[in-house]
Structure 1
Amino acid sequence: MPLPNILRYLHREQRFLAVFVVGAALVAGFVKLAGEMQEGDTQALDIAILKALRLPEDPSQLIGPSWLHSAATDLTALGGVTVLTLVSILAVAFLLLLGRFRQALFTAIATGGGAMLSTFLKGLFARPRPEVVPHLVEVTSMSFPSGHSLNSAIIYLTIAVMISRSFEDRKSRIFTITVAALLVLAIGCTRVILGVHFPSDVLGGWTLGAAWALGVGLLAATLQRKHKIEEPDGSIADQSSGPAPDQIGS
C-alpha cells in the first residue's frame, strides 16, 4: 500500500477511535445520570432550576418576555411524535429520490430502532413528571428520559448524519449536523421551560440520543467503506471483484 494511502488509513482509524470514545463516554454519562436520578441525587438541582424559571409569586407564569411561552410551545412540537415521524418519512423519501436505496433502508431502521429504545427506557425508569410547577402543555407519559429530547436527538442527528454522508463537501456535512444539533438543544430546553420535564430528564435524553447518532454514523461509515451502502458519490462497488486499487485506504 503506498505511503499516502497508509497515512489516510491511519488518520481514518484515529477519527473512528475518537468518535467511539466520545460515544462510549456519552453512554457512561447516561448510566451515571440514571443512577443518580434513581437515588434522588439530582432532585434538589432539578427543582431549583424549574422554580428559577417561574415567577415566585405565580409559578404558572414564566420569567421572561411574554412571547416565550408561545415560542416554547411551537418549538417543542418539533420534538413530538407526529413531526418526528413526518421528518423521518421525508428523509427516507429524499434518499430514495436520490437513488440511495440501501442508505434509505439503513436510515429507516436506525430511526425506528431509536424510537423503540425511547419507549422502552421510559417504561423501565417510570419516573413521574415534575409537579413542582404547573405544566404549560399537556403530557401523559413518564418523565425519564425526556422523549422529546431523546427522540429528537435520535431522529434529527441520525438523519443529519445520514444525509451528510451523501455529501463529499466537508462544509456541507458540518452545516447539516450543526443545524440538527442546535435544533435538538432548543427542543430539550423547551421541555424544562414548559415545566413538563426535570433538567436531568432532558440531559439524559441528549446524552443517549447523541450516543445513538454517533453509533449510527460509525456503522454507516463502516458500511460505506465496505461498499454495503452507497458512498457519497452514490456508487456501490462490485463486491465480487473487490475494491479498486485507488479505493484502498480511502
Structure 2
Amino acid sequence: MPATKMQAAAPPRPVRHVPHLFWGAGFAALSVAILLSLGFLIDPARPYAFDAWVLRMLRRPGDLAVPVGPAWLKEAMVDITALGGATVLTLVVVVAVGMLLVSRKWMTAALVAAGTISGSLAVSAAKEIAARPRPDVVPHLVEVSSQSFPSGHSANSAIVYLTIAALLTQVTGADARRTYLFAVVVALVTVIGLSRMYLGVHWPTDVLAGWSFGTFWALAWWRIGQWLRIHPHAAMPQDEREPVG
C-alpha cells in the first residue's frame, strides 16, 4: 500500500549554549577589567598596594629568595608555568587545528587559528604599550625578558585554551563533556597565572589583567563562531552549520 503521508521532518537539534562556567568567568573578567582600568587611569606606572604584599607573602619572611611551601612546589610551579609558554601553546594550537582539519571541520580550524594567533599579537602589542617593569620586590625564580603588563602566560593561556574549548563546544555534543572540558581549562588557566606570581615574575594585577583579556578574547571568538553557524548567508560548510547558542 503506497504511503499517503509525507514522512515527518526530524525535529531541529536543540540550541547549545556555552557552559555557564564560561559566562561566569566572563563576568568576573569584566569586573576585574573595570577595577584595573580605574587604577591605571590614576597612575599607570605604579602597582597596586596589594601587589607587593602578595608577592612577599609567597616568600619566606627571612629570605625573600625562597618561596613558601615544600621544595617540590617550586619545581611544580616551573613545570606548570611552562604550560602557558609560547612553545607549549603553539604545539596545542597546531594539534587542535590538525585534529579539526582531519575531522573536516574547516571553518572551526580556521577560527581556532585566527583567534589564537591574533590574540597573541594583541597581547604583545599591549605589553609594549603599557611598558610596565617586572616586579623587583622579590627575586625572580625563572628568567624573563619582556614587559610585565599584562601577563603573557596568563593572557595567552586563556586565549588558547579557552578559545579552543569554546569553539569545540559548537561542534560537539554532550553537555557533561563540555562542562568538564571548561572546568579543566579554567583550572589550568588559573594555576598557570598563579605560578607567575609564585615565581615572582609578575605583579598580581598583571595576572588578573591577563585572565580578563584572554577570557574576553575567547568569548568574542565564540560569538564569531556562533554567528557564522546560524547566519543564513555565512560561508559555513554544511556539516559545521549546527545550531548553537
TM-score normalised per structure 1: 0.81
Deviation at 1:42?
4.5
Give the aligned partner of residue 187 of structure 1: 192
Cα shift readout 1:174-204 (whole Å, capped 9, x = no counterpart): 1112111110001000000000000000000
Give the aligned partner of residue 85 of structure 2: 80
Q: Within 5 Å, which residues of 2 pair with 1:33-182?
A: 33-37=36-40, 39=43, 42-182=47-187
SS in 2 for 1:131: coil
> Any conservation in 2 of the 1:145–1:204 contact (CA below 8 Å)?
yes
Task: Name which of 16, 30, 33 aligns with 1:30.
Answer: 33
User: 2:224 and 2:23 mapped to 1: Cα distance?
Assistant: 11
> In angstroms, what is the RMSD of aligned CA positions?
2.8
Deviation at 1:141?
0.3
> Any conservation in 2 of the 1:164–1:177 contact (CA below 8 Å)?
no
User: 1:34 and 1:145 mapped to 2: Cα distance?
Assistant: 12
> Any conservation in 2 of the 1:103–1:229 contact (CA below 8 Å)?
no
> Any conservation in 1 of the 2:81–2:153 contact (CA below 8 Å)?
yes
Count of matched residue positions in the alignment of Structure 1 and Structure 2: 227
State the 4+ residue runs in structure 1 displaced beyond 6 angstroms: 19-22
Which structure shows the higher helix fraction? 1
Q: Counterpart amino acid of 1:167?
A: T
SS in 2 for 1:136: coil
Cα shift readout 1:59-97 (whole Å, capped 9, x = no counterpart): 010111111100000000000011111111111001001
Q: Which moved more, 1:207-216 or 1:134-143?
A: 207-216
SS in 1 for 2:64: strand
User: 1:20 and 1:147 mapped to 2: Cα distance?
Assistant: 22
Give the aligned partner of residue 212 of structure 2: 207
Q: Which moved more, 1:37-46 or 1:139-148?
A: 37-46
Structure 1 unaligned segments of length 5 or more: list them: 238-246
> Any conservation in 1 of the 2:107–2:240 contact (CA below 8 Å)?
no
Distance 1:175 1:85, change over 3 A: same
Structure 2 unaligned segments of length 5 or more: list them: 1-10
SS in 2 for 1:60: strand
SS in 1 for 2:107: helix
User: 2:162 and 2:103 mapped to 1: Cα distance?
Assistant: 20
User: 2:237 and 2:175 mapped to 1: Cα distance?
Assistant: 17
